[in-house]
Amino acid sequence: MLTTILSILVALLILSVLIVAHEFGHFIAAKKAGIWVEEFGIGLPPRVFGKKIGETIYSVNLLPFGGFVRLHGEVDKDIKKPSRAYVKKSKKARVAIAIAGILANFLIAIICFSLVYAIGGIPETLSGVKVLEVDAGSPAEMAGIKPDDLIVKVADQDINNSDQFIEFVNAAKGQKTTLEIKRLSPEEKVMQVSLRPREDPPEGEGALGVTIDVNTVVQVNYPPVWQRPFVGLYYGVRETYLISKAVVVGIASIFIDISEGQAPEGVVGPLGITALIAYVVQLGFLPLLNFVGLISVNLALINIIPFPPMDGSRVVFITSEALFGRKVLPKVESVVNTIGIILLILLLITLTFREVPQAFRAGSLNGFIESIIPVQ
């Protein structure tokens, strides 16, 4: 129980850090644009503690989740310093501020994935099938095949998966054929062996007499220490790009489901996200880093959606201003943002009410995880 509680607390801390990093992106861009940042807050109001440094109040707030940035002149009223007000800045500057939080989350993701690869090594998918066991007296044993060998070719035909291997071996039954074997340890070497697959093998054995791994064979490579930061960065950027593509497809499928009147599958609420992070916390440092990167990519892409009050909606308002030559009325923008916030809160409440009974029925963190997302 204590481990679960600590894991949940770490999960809440991680979510808060990712949100604060997002807001820090807005903060830096606003400062660079010359806007008066009135307050940078950790947590949500009411305020517990605040200290003014320069012209900005840095505060710690009662609700320990996320953070916020309060810019001077976000709406066109009560402006004390017109030259330092958000609404008085150029469209380019306001767009930069809107996307800065998104870029901050992408940067966090790249850092996380880069560290995972730099520390944990670079996985390489190998062609062929891995031998798990060799039956005594079988053609494979007589040919010198051993457990952990990789069979990469049958009769000069490349093997990409277990189905291909079985197909090629069955086609060669009763005939003398050649296998190309890659032995990975103690030193990697490639060998050619000849054998004759049995037409009528003993019960429980295959034509060659080997048990193979049906999963994709992955080998982890460790570059020299001095290369790891650079190799890790390359793969970190690559991973961020690939996951971003997958998340975009996932978000699109959610909207398609909604448009067709179906409840979207695989969507979790605040409770589910917290539980998932708490579960991964228990798996170790590198799995946690990897998952934090995944969450950060999701936060970045969700904020691109042009739905108020997401950053994407601000970009839409600024774009419409550029196209039509006039700003959206502050009252209209305020009403749209308020409606958007209410809808988001209703969605979060709906998801939470769906997940709370699941959590109680599950009776444990792992049980709850399995009830929302099957754990393989």
In this structure, of 32-41, 114-123, 236-245, 337-346, the range with the lowest mean pLDDT score is 337-346
Contact residues for 198 (Cβ-Cβ < 8 A; gap 6+): 138, 139, 173, 174, 207, 208, 209
Quick: pLDDT tens for 143-183. 999 999 999 999 889 998 889 999 999 999 999 999 999 99
Quick: pLDDT tens for 45-75. 889 999 999 999 999 998 877 889 999 988 7
- Where exactly are the structural domains of the chain? 92-121+227-372, 124-221
Give the per-residue pLDDT at 138.
93
Give the per-residue pLDDT at 76.
66
pLDDT interval class at 279 (50, 70, 90): confident
DSSP annotation of 282 = T
Whether the predicted pLDDT of 1 surpasses 80? no
- The amino acid occupying position 7 is S
Q: Is 336 left (phi over 0), alpha (psi -120 to 50) or beta?
A: alpha
Whether the predicted pLDDT of 2 surpasses 80? no
Give the per-residue pLDDT at 98.
94
CA distance 147 to 244: 38
Q: Has domain 124-221 been given CATH number 3.30.70.100?
A: no
Question: Within 157-227, where are the H helices?
Answer: 162-171
Give the per-residue pLDDT at 150.
92
CA distance 213 to 130: 5
CA distance 371 to 362: 7
pLDDT interval class at 376 (50, 70, 90): very low
Quick: pLDDT tens for 90-129. 999 999 999 999 999 999 999 999 999 999 999 988 888 9
